[in-house]
Amino acid sequence: MGIQKQFSDEFYGNELDATKWHGDNPNWPGGKPSMANTKNVVVKNGHLVLRVDKLNEPFNSYTHSVGCVISKKSITYGYFILKCELN
């Protein structure tokens, strides 16, 4: 039987595929000092870019705005392959 691919996204196009991803976590605003913000999620040139921005003014003890995505597909068993780079 072997391993079967259940989920894949190569991030082609100019925006996050809303059929596969939430552009933030709908049940979690973020962990202080960082709050999730959809403006920090960008898709360009086949890459998912998750930015971190320092807020000019702290907001309810949050000092940073971060990008995060959550898969809409629940996967119980298996593994994920991810290639990432910190800039």
What confidence score (pLDDT) does residue 15 get?
93
Q: How is residue 56 annotated by DSSP?
A: E
Average pLDDT on 3-7 reads: 79
Least confident window among 11-15, 35-39, 66-70, 73-77: 73-77
**pLDDT, tens only, 8-57:** 899 998 999 999 999 887 788 888 899 999 999 999 989 999 999 999 99
Largest CA distance in the chain: 55
Torsion angle in degrees (nearest 10) through CA of 63, 82, 1, 73: 30
Residue 53, strand partner residues: 65
pLDDT band at 1 (very low <50, low <70, confident <90, very high): low
Q: Torsion-angle region of residue 56: left (phi > 0), alpha (psi -120 to 50) or beta?
A: alpha
DSSP E strand boundaries for 29-87: 34-36, 41-44, 47-50, 52-59, 62-66, 70-71
The residue that leads in pLDDT, 15 or 87, is 15
